[in-house]
Amino acid sequence: MLALRPRTAKVGKKEITRLPSWLKTSIPSPNTSAGFKAIKADLRGLGLHTVCEEARCPNIGECWGGSDKASATATIMLMGDTCTRGCRFCSVKTARKAKGAWDMAPLDPHEPENTAEALKRWGLG
């Protein structure tokens, strides 16, 4: 019987288990698909934020790029780039502070219309 031994790497004083190659995805380059570039340009131009970027999702290239079988997708964050929850497993910046206090930036008054414009450009509205 074949035994698989996980690869490890030393990080500081700790030894961590490496992900297998089949679980890794490549980070999209600026020369990726037209769908990826269009979504990124629309988001930057309209001042919108996505969970995909804020959470540093490794699958962003697959979702934003779409394919010949599926449309490109992006999850737009409402109320800016800061989440009102404080999930410990997530990379998204949170507004939650100790003892239930909040630290939120002022809301963009144009965000609703900019979100609607993005949806229109992407053929969703």
Per-residue pLDDT tens digits for 13-48 = 888 888 787 777 766 665 667 778 888 999 999 999
Distance CA(21)–CA(24), nearest Å, equals 5
Phi, psi torsion values for 33, nearest 5 degrees: -65, 160
Does residue 45 sit in helix, strand or coil?
helix
Per-residue pLDDT tens digits for 45-80 = 999 999 989 988 888 887 887 766 667 788 999 999
Break the chain into its structural domains and give their ranges. 26-96+107-113
